[in-house]
Amino acid sequence: MLSLRHLRVEFPTRHAILVALDDISFDIAPGEVLGVVGESGAGKSMTGNAVIRLLEPPGHIAGGQVRLSGRRIDDLAEDDFVPLRGRHIGMIFQDPLTSLNPLFSIGDQLMETLRTHLPIGEKEARERALALLTEVGIPAPAARLGAYPHQFSGGMRQRVVIALALAAEPELIIADEPTTALDVSVQAQILALLKRVCAERGAAVMLVTHDMGVIAETADRVAVMYAGRLIEIGPVNEVIRHPQHPYTEGLMASIPGLAKRRERLYQIEGAMPRLAAIPEGCAFNPRCPHATERCRTERPELLPAGAGQAACWLHDPDNPLPRRDALSQRQDEPGEESPRETAR
């Protein structure tokens, strides 16, 4: 359904060209949920914005290809791309309150979206709007059509945003941290809704989040990003239980266990590099316990690793790096639940 090949996004400045996304390649099949994870600044939301062409100037796609259902869309003129938004690509934004127009009722916004993308009249648009609110679990949908966004709770607003994204039955849904501001019980309901829609409609879902628990419960595969690069991708169970990249391993190790209290959680030393200061070679090398001179000078491509792929010289088939016991300081004590299991 969605295919990215060597996607590159740049932001020209007076001093240099900043590379926000560098050589991103992955596919999402119909009916599949691909989770995209990483720290803030890793490039997760930027990838979704690049697909739907909502990059803030002067940011632009500088290379690579984006294909939707086999059709290349990254090189379309803006007037040709606009009809794809909503009709073929739905977007669920992170903050539902700012995604909805406070001056229009929920019903008006839904019906406008439907009539913009589908050849239907006002009566049919109202019927479909009611059906959408019912589908996403809004109670008393007929009464809620005339309500305004500020009259809804955070969870209900998020459901409305999902209804807007689903209105024209797009083939691809980009969900940008759709559960960040919600409590745990509402999170579970929203994730169950996304999974059901994906299964029933055959839509492909790109789920952007920083929460590995959300990924464990929702995604079929997971892509891990770091400093604008894709560093690991594979089936979600394998990536969570057997991470192949040191960064992914650190992410999983930092999740607290539930079975026993610990005095100190594991943490990855250092911070995500700024776009103007991405190091040579592997971008993770200043924080990696396995890094050698080769990591500081040569950038690894995605290599076969376990059931997926990882961009790390640890998996070089010809000359693999020796693996050090990087997480010895947080070895699970007898009877303690592994953080990798806690993610589920």
- Give the sheet arrangement for strand 204-208, strand by strand: 89-92, 172-176, 204-208, 33-37, 221-226, 229-235, 308-310, 303-305
Residue 329: the pLDDT is 42
Per-residue buried b or exposed e for 184-220, using 16+ beta carbons within 10 Å of the residue's own CB: eebbebbbebbbebbeeeebbbbbbbbbbbbbbbbbb
Residue 336: the pLDDT is 42
DSSP-based three-state secondary structure for 328: helix
pLDDT-based confidence at residue 331 (cuts at 50, 70, 90): very low
Q: Measured in Å, how far apart are the chain's first and last C-alpha atoms?
A: 27
Are 252 and 332 in contact by the 8 Å Cβ rule? The answer is no
pTM over 0.85, yes/no: yes
Half-sphere CA count of 112, side-chain side, radius 13 A: 8
- Over residues 12-52, the pLDDT tens digits come to 998 899 999 999 999 999 989 999 998 888 999 999 999 99
Residue 64: the pLDDT is 94
Report d(CA 205, CA 191) in Å as an integer.
Answer: 11
Which is more confidently placed, 298 or 194? 298
Report d(CA 81, CA 92) in Å as an integer.
Answer: 18
Burial class (CB in 10 A: 0-12, 13-18, 19+), 289: middle
Cβ neighbours, 10 Å, residue 106: 26
Residue 341 has pLDDT above 70, yes or no: no
Q: State the average pLDDT over residues 297-316.
A: 92
